[in-house]
Amino acid sequence: MLSILLLLAFSGAAGAADLYVICHPGVKLLATEVRDMFLGEKQFAGSVMLQPADNNAAQPVFLEKILNMGADKYATAWTKKSFRDGLNPPPVKGTDAEAVDYVRRTSGACSYVSTLPGPGVVLIASL
């Protein structure tokens, strides 16, 4: 059921989107896998190690629309994951431009932005 809801959420028109999930061109990722990647449950896309990065400028919208949680719950989830599994939370980029630059330069990188990212990245989802 969650997969169906995510697909419906991601199927909105690109022109009306408030959020764009982007990845490095070498990453093959489904829109339904974005949530698991940002919660540390999905660490590889094929043989590529995923390198997600949060975007401080767009994080409230991302947490609400994709993860369905607030910032406190997200931080708590990562604190538990860090102690339990030894994983680090995604690094935080300050702006859309920093997030896009990180994705373009980093193999396996994915992030989200509030403006159309332009060339050099793959658009995974828009909502």
Domains (range + CATH), the chain: 2-126 (3.40.190.10)
The reported pTM is: 0.86
Percent of the chain with pLDDT over 70: 87
- 59, amino acid identity: Q
CA–CA distance, 14 with 20 (Å, rounded to integer) = 8
CB 90 within 8 A of CB 38: yes
65-100: pLDDT as tens digits = 999 999 999 999 999 999 999 999 999 999 999 999
